[in-house]
């Protein structure tokens, strides 16, 4: 796969969220969009730091792949802790995002009695869209701790009214959610890239 855009994370320098909250936590981009710019974190009200899909019709009617991968650690003392990871497409603007979940893991059970034990996860989506129809669809797959994700198959939601000539046609962010607030909950993103 030729990487067309990358979130600038890797096995040595992951993006990290610590969730003392049960709301969605979006992974921040470690490096700003230009030299000297501090890290930025997407939120429910801002998509600054999103991974942009290349525009100018470069991906019009062409299949492309998005991969997100990382680890998760549960804090101790929380019974029945679960973890869900989602890939969101932003079809709004950076300053006024409109997020649509295009891929998601199931609510994976964590073992909160074993504090500090990491579990790995990944989501991969294969996308195809075109400006004539405006529809972006595809498939999703993934795994959690070496077990295939039950949510594999078609996308959670397709996109509509997408113009691949726009720059960008849409953006992507990764969010994680724990079912209960625990300051020991930590998720790391080691890979987030788009390619062909």
Output the pLDDT for position 131.
98
How confident is the prediction for the chain on average, in pLDDT? 88
- Lowest-confidence range among 28-32, 50-54, 169-173? 28-32
Radius of gyration of the chain (CA): 16
Instruction: Tell me what the mean pLDDT of segment 121-139 comes to.
Output: 97
Residues 3, 193: Cα–Cα separation, whole Å = 7
Three-class SS state of 6: strand
Confidence class for position 39, pLDDT limits 50, 70, 90:
low
Residue 144 in this model has a pLDDT that exceeds 80: yes
Structure tokens at 45: 């009200």
Instruction: Please indicate whether residue 72 or residue 180 has the higher confidence score (pLDDT).
Output: 72
Topology annotation, domain 3-195: Jelly Rolls (2.60.120)
Residues 39, 140: Cα–Cα separation, whole Å = 29
Confidence class for position 41, pLDDT limits 50, 70, 90:
confident
Look up tokens 């998509």; give the residue. Answer: 47
Residue 150 in this model has a pLDDT that exceeds 70: no
Residues 141, 143: Cα–Cα separation, whole Å = 7
Residues 15, 188: Cα–Cα separation, whole Å = 6
């Amino acid at each position: 796969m030729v990487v067309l855009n990358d979130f600038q994370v890797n096995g040595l320098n992951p993006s990290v969220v610590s969730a003392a909250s049960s709301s969605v936590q979006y992974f921040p981009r470690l490096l700003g969009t230009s030299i000297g710019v501090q890290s930025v974190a997407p939120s429910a009200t801002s998509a600054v730091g999103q991974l942009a899909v290349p525009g100018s019709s470069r991906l019009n009617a062409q299949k492309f792949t998005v991969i997100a991968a990382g680890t998760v650690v549960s804090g101790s003392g929380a019974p029945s802790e679960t973890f869900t990871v989602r890939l969101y497409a932003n079809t709004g603007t950076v300053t006024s995002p409109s997020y649509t979940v295009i891929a998601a893991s199931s609510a994976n059970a964590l073992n909160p009695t074993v504090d500090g034990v990491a579990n790995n996860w990944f989501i991969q989506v294969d996308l195809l869209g075109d400006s004539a129809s405006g529809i972006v669809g595809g498939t999703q797959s993934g795994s959690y701790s070496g077990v295939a994700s039950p949510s594999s198959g078609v996308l959670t939601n397709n996109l509509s009214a997408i113009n691949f000539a726009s720059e960008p046609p849409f953006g992507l962010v990764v969010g994680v959610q724990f079912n209960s607030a625990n300051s020991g909950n930590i998720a790391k993103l080691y890979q987030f890239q788009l390619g062909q």
